Amino acid sequence: MTEESRLLAGRYQVGELIGRGGMADVHRGTDARLGRTVAIKLLKPSLATDPAFRTRFRQEAQAAARMAHPTIVRVFDAGEETIRDANGHEAQLPFIVMEYVDGRLLKDIIAAGPVDSAEAVRISQGILTALEYSHRAGVVHRDIKPGNIMITRTGQVKVMDFGIARAISDSSATVAQTTAILGTASYFSPEQAKGESVDARTDLYSTGIVLFEMLTGRPPFRGDTPVAVAYQHVSETPEAPSRINHKVSPALDLVVQRALSKDRFDRYQTAAEFRSDVESAGAGHVPIHKPRDAFADTLFGAPPSVISGPEAALRQLANDETMVRTQRRPPVIWVWAGIAAVTVIVIAVLFWVFRLTPNNTLPATSRAVPSLAGQVFDKARLQLENDKLKWTRTDEASSTVAAGNVTRTDPAAGIIVSTGDTITIFVSSGKKAATVPDVHNMPLADAQNALKAAGFVPGMVNMQDDPTVPANVVLSTTPAAATNGHEGDTIGLNVSSGNVLLPSLVGQSVQGATGILAGLQLKSDPQPDSTCPGTLVNSQTLAPGDVPQGSVITFTYCAAPPSPPSSPSPTG
Q: What is the pLDDT of residues 45-104, one digit of tens each?
A: 766 776 766 676 676 677 677 788 899 988 888 888 887 766 777 777 888 898 899 899
- Measured distance CA(449)–CA(470) in Å, rounded: 19
Q: Cβ distance 162 to 74 under 8 Å?
A: no
Q: For every residue of 61-124, which 3-state class applies, written as one string?
A: HHHHHCCCCCCECCEEEEEEEEEECCCCCEEEEEEEEEECCCEEEHHHHHHCCCCCHHHHHHHH
Residue 472: what pLDDT?
Answer: 93
- Measured distance CA(131)–CA(162) in Å, rounded: 10
Residue 516: what pLDDT?
Answer: 92
Residue 49: what pLDDT?
Answer: 72
Write the CB contacts of 123 (distance below 8 Å, at least 6 apart in sequence): 106, 115, 149, 151, 157, 214
pLDDT above 70 covers a percentage of the chain that reads 79
**pLDDT over 60 at 170, yes or no:** no
- The DSSP string of 403-458 is TTBEEEEESPTT-EEETT-EEEEEEE--SPEEE----TTSBHHHHHHHHHHTT-EE
Architecture of domain 433-497: 2-Layer Sandwich (3.30)
Residue 334: what pLDDT?
Answer: 66
Averaged pLDDT for residues 545-569: 82
Q: Cβ distance 70 to 132 under 8 Å?
A: no
Averaged pLDDT for residues 415-419: 80
336-340, 473-477, 480-484, 550-554: the lowest-pLDDT one = 336-340
Predicted confidence (pLDDT) per residue in 225-259, tens digit: 888 888 888 888 899 999 999 999 999 999 999 99
Distances in Å between the Cα of 461 and the Cα atoms of 335, 436, 465, 546 are 83, 16, 13, 18
Distances in Å between the Cα of 65 and the Cα atoms of 23, 37, 158, 358 are 20, 17, 15, 38
Higher-scoring residue by pLDDT: 340, 490: 490
Write the CB contacts of 139 (distance below 8 Å, at least 6 apart in sequence): 63, 64, 67, 162, 163, 166
- The DSSP string of 123-179 is HHHHHHHHHHHHHHTT------SGGGEEEETT--EEE--TTHHHHHHHT--SHHHHH
**pLDDT over 60 at 512, yes or no:** yes
CA dihedral 311, 314, 319, 321 (to 10 degrees): 170
CATH topology of domain 103-293: Transferase(Phosphotransferase); domain 1 (1.10.510)
Residue 302: what pLDDT?
Answer: 52
Same fold, 103-293 and 366-428: no
**pLDDT over 70 at 2, yes or no:** no
Q: Cβ distance 446 to 453 under 8 Å?
A: no
Across the chain, what does the average pLDDT equal? Answer: 81
Among 31, 77, 143, 489, the active-site one is 143
pLDDT band at 7 (very low <50, low <70, confident <90, very high): confident
Predicted confidence (pLDDT) per residue in 198-208, tens digit: 888 999 999 99
Distances in Å between the Cα of 431 and the Cα atoms of 372, 400, 485 are 19, 8, 9
Residue 86: what pLDDT?
Answer: 63
108 annotated active-site = no
Predicted confidence (pLDDT) per residue in 437-484, tens digit: 999 999 999 999 999 988 889 999 999 999 989 999 999 999 999 998
Residues belonging to the chain: 572
Residue 81: what pLDDT?
Answer: 82
pLDDT above 90 covers a percentage of the chain that reads 40
Q: Domain coordinates of the chain in residue numbers?
A: 3-99, 103-293, 366-428, 433-497, 500-560
Q: Is the CATH number 3.30.10.20 carried by domain 500-560?
A: yes
**pLDDT over 50 at 177, yes or no:** no
- Measured distance CA(420)–CA(427) in Å, rounded: 21
CATH of 366-428 among 3.40.190.10, 3.40.50.800, 3.30.10.20, 1.20.1440.120: 3.30.10.20
For 479, other C-beta atoms within 10 Å of its C-beta total 14
**pLDDT over 70 at 37, yes or no:** yes
Predicted confidence (pLDDT) per residue in 353-389, tens digit: 666 555 555 567 777 889 999 899 999 999 999 988 9
**Which of the listed ranges 81-95, 118-132, 181-195, 365-379 does the model predict with the highest average pLDDT?**
118-132
- Looking at domain 3-99, what is its CATH homologous superfamily? Phosphorylase Kinase; domain 1 (3.30.200.20)
Predicted confidence (pLDDT) per residue in 287-335, tens digit: 876 655 555 555 555 555 544 444 443 343 344 444 444 344 455 676 6
**pLDDT over 80 at 43, yes or no:** no
Q: Which strand (E) or helix (H) includes residue 540?
A: strand 537-540
Averaged pLDDT for residues 393-411: 87
